[in-house]
Amino acid sequence: MSEVVLLRDVHRVYPGQPPVRALAGVGLRIEAGELVGIVGPSGSGKSTLLNVLGTLDRADTGLVRIDGQDVAGRSDRHLSALRAHRIGFVFQQFFLAPGVTALDNVADGLLYTGASLRERRRRAARTLERVGLTDRNHHRPHELSGGQRQRVAVARALVGRPALLLADEPTGALDSTSGAAVIELLHELRGDGTTIVIITHDHHVAADLPRTVHILDGRIESDERTA
Amino acid sequence: MSTATPPASRLRPRDTLRVAFSGLRARPLRAVLSALGIAVGIAAMVAVVGISASSREQVNQQLRELGTNLLTVRPGQEMMGGGDATLPPESIDMVARVGPVTDVSAIGTIQDTAVYRSSAVDANQTNGLSAYAADTDLLATVSGALAAGRWIDAAMAGYPTVVLGATTADRLGVAVTDGSVAIVIGEQPFVVVGILEPVPLAPELDEAALVGWPVASELLGFDGSPTTIYERSPESAVEAVRAVLPATVNPENPEEVTVSKPSDALAAQAAADETLTTLLLALGGVALLVGGIGVANTMVIAVLERRSEIGLRRALGATRAHIRRQFLGESVLLAALGGVGGALLGGAATAVFASSREWPFALPTWILAGAAAATIVIGALAGAYPAGRAARMSPTAALSVV
């Protein structure tokens, strides 16, 4: 199996008084098809790690290789292309466009690939089916439950068939039942071969994941595989 | 696993437009209000230019109808002696003998003769009106028209009948021309037979009471000297005729003769309005500037409010340039919305104003093209700073807002 994520001795310090050492020598390797939880208390550096994995933030030093592409020194255009084609994001707050149908929200996941609107909608409909929301295509976010909204957001992240799906506290804004359903969906997707990284501070969520990486003070404390 | 470089991020032009428009659609009231600022400026400029063009068109149309080939000849100041010079009685015939001249007519001031509504009126209340002896072909030569009644023809010229200028009729309160009303000229009653429309090429006729040449000599002691000779010639010969007229009417003292072209005065009056037009246009420009500042303000707020949208778009693969284009496009659309609204408003104002004055409607295309260009430039300028700010925003900072 080839690796989707390779981090080696990654450092990230936010300047300030005093400077914040968000990542202090992180090494991480994630193979294709893995489902990995990154767990840690707030301030542990896990959000920074997610941003670095998603190429939204750059490491100060160290090797960051996402889907075979070295991130260091790459232009904004190059990293944007990587995000458009190879990385999908799911956020705690969903970030769905209000007043826009579920179908078009999902289709926007392909907006920056240059695909035509017809093609984007066609693929969005197929992806909504995959997350079990076929009958909600023309609903707007305010007509959907929290769990359904997060499923729409997951569909938007998946529609471009990314090599890596990053989920930042995907259950953080959901009640436990909807949250469990979203996690179950992510488990199912893993069965389809998608590589998924879930950031969470919820140990119940982490406990069910086949691999859990604990992070504290910008360092990896433990890396456990249960399956 | 594929490790090939991914294809570049790409946002189709059509999608750029769609994305820019979606920002406006999300807050329609705000979009309309900030577009209104631009609309007011554009409407003001379009209306000012449209109204002045309509007015000019009206003058041109009037000149086409009246002709620009009418010359008037008046006695000027006497070089020696100081008194008013006069034209000799035979000067009318002398002008008629100039080759290209096609029409000649004249009026002569009847000296020391005032015009009153009745003999009971105080002699000092002259109303600023003058009595003139008029040729029977005067009306045709100056392109005058009757508002009521009839003109003095050869048969009536020997009888005490009078035709009133538009202002004269108004000041004397005369509206009836059926022969039942008489006014007093030089202590003699004259029956009102006609009332003129205003005469644009000979405004002096508006304040005149016109009587026949023979009856003026007979009853009012008119000396037969014309005060103003009206003359028409083919357009091509106007300048040549103008050059010979002074020497023709007064061979001994040609310098005492003033020749003028009344159509020039009309055109000059239209040109004088240009100054006002320029001033109003500048005011419209100020309104437009204020509108542009309103758009910039709206865009700055939009960028602040939509940080998470910007972060999301960056996560979805938008480059900085895509973000910049989105907000720049939104700003230009906003201004264009105002521009279209303003052009329609300005066009409508011009149409209403022109029709209320019975002017022809004229709206030069250059002002519409100018308005379109102005809105695009204003939209781009207003959006440049906020769009740049949106583009420079770091994706992580944009996403960290809840």
Per-residue confidence band for B81, with pLDDT thresholds at 50, 70 and 90: low
Alpha carbon distance B192, B177 (integer Å): 6
From chain A, the residues in CB contact with B318 under 8 A are: 80, 84, 111-112
CA angle, residues B385, B387, B393, in degrees to nearest 5:
100
Question: Is the Cα torsion angle A37, A42, A46, A48 positive or negative in sign?
Answer: positive
Q: Say what the ipTM of the complex is.
A: 0.94
Structure tokens that stand for A118 in this block: 């017809």
- Which residue's structure tokens are 């009332």? B195
Domain extent listing, chain B: 13-63+267-399, 69-260
Query: Nearest by CB to B1, which of A32, A54, A77?
Result: A32
CB contact under 8 A, A95 and B318: no
Q: Name the amino acid, one letter, at B392.
A: R
CB contact under 8 A, B15 and A76: no
Structure tokens that stand for A21 in this block: 């050492």
| Pairing label, strands B182-185, B70-75 | unpaired
Give A204→chain B minimum CA distance, Å.
24
Alpha carbon distance B240, B246 (integer Å): 12
- Per-residue confidence in pLDDT tens, chain A, 227 aa: 588 999 999 999 998 888 888 999 999 999 999 999 999 888 888 889 999 999 999 999 999 999 999 998 899 999 999 999 999 999 988 999 988 999 999 999 999 999 999 999 999 999 999 888 888 899 999 999 999 999 999 999 999 999 999 999 998 888 888 888 888 888 888 877 789 999 988 888 888 899 999 999 999 999 998 86
Q: Could you report the per-residue pLDDT of A89-142, keeping only the tens digit for each?
A: 999 889 999 889 999 999 999 999 999 999 999 999 999 998 888 888 999 999
Query: Which of the residues B1, B11, B325 would you substitute to probe the A interface, choosing the one with the greatest number of A C-beta atoms within 10 Å?
Result: B1
Q: Could you report the per-residue pLDDT of B261-308, keeping only the tens digit for each?
A: 877 777 777 676 777 788 888 888 898 999 999 999 999 999 999 999
Alpha carbon distance B88, B253 (integer Å): 11
Cα–Cα nearest to B227, from B87, B126, B128, B362: B87
From chain B, the residues in CB contact with A195 under 8 A are: none
Alpha carbon distance B77, B381 (integer Å): 62
- Give phi and psi for A14, each to the nearest 5: -90, 120
Alpha carbon distance B137, A111 (integer Å): 82
Return the number of other C-beta atoms located less than 10 Å from residue A123's C-beta: 20
Alpha carbon distance A179, A62 (integer Å): 35
**B359 Cβ contact partners less than 8 Å away, ≥ 6 residues apart:** B54, B55, B57, B58, B353
Query: Which of the residues B2, B5, B9, B322 would you substitute to probe the A interface, choosing the one with the greatest number of A C-beta atoms within 10 Å?
Result: B9
Q: Is residue A185 within 8 Å of A132, Cβ to Cβ?
A: yes
The CA-atom distances, in angstroms, between B189 and each of A6, A221, B329 are 118, 124, 79
Which residues 31-70 in chain A show a CB within 8 A of chain B? 32, 51, 54, 56-57, 67-69
Q: Is residue B67 within 8 Å of B263, Cβ to Cβ?
A: yes
Contact B269/A at CB under 8 A: no
Q: Is residue A149 within 8 Å of A136, Cβ to Cβ?
A: no
Query: Nearest by CB to A86, which of B6, B308, B318?
Result: B6
Alpha carbon distance B53, B74 (integer Å): 33
* Model pTM above 0.80: no
Domain extent listing, chain A: 34-58+73-225
CB contact under 8 A, A67 and B2: yes
- Which residue's structure tokens are 């990486």? A213
- Which residue's structure tokens are 């990896």? A220
Contact A142/B at CB under 8 A: no
Query: Nearest by CB to A111, which of B11, B26, B395?
Result: B11
From chain B, the residues in CB contact with A87 under 8 A are: 315
CB contact under 8 A, B15 and A117: yes
Structure tokens that stand for A46 in this block: 């896990």
Strand residue runs (E) in B97-204: 103-109, 115-116, 130-134, 146-149, 161-164, 182-185, 188-196
Side-chain-facing half-sphere of B195: CA atoms under 13 Å: 19
Cα–Cα nearest to A20, from A10, A11, A33: A11
| Pairing label, strands A195-200, A164-168 | parallel
Q: Does domain A34-58+73-225 have CATH number 3.20.20.220?
A: no
From chain B, the residues in CB contact with A98 under 8 A are: 26
Contact B7/A at CB under 8 A: yes
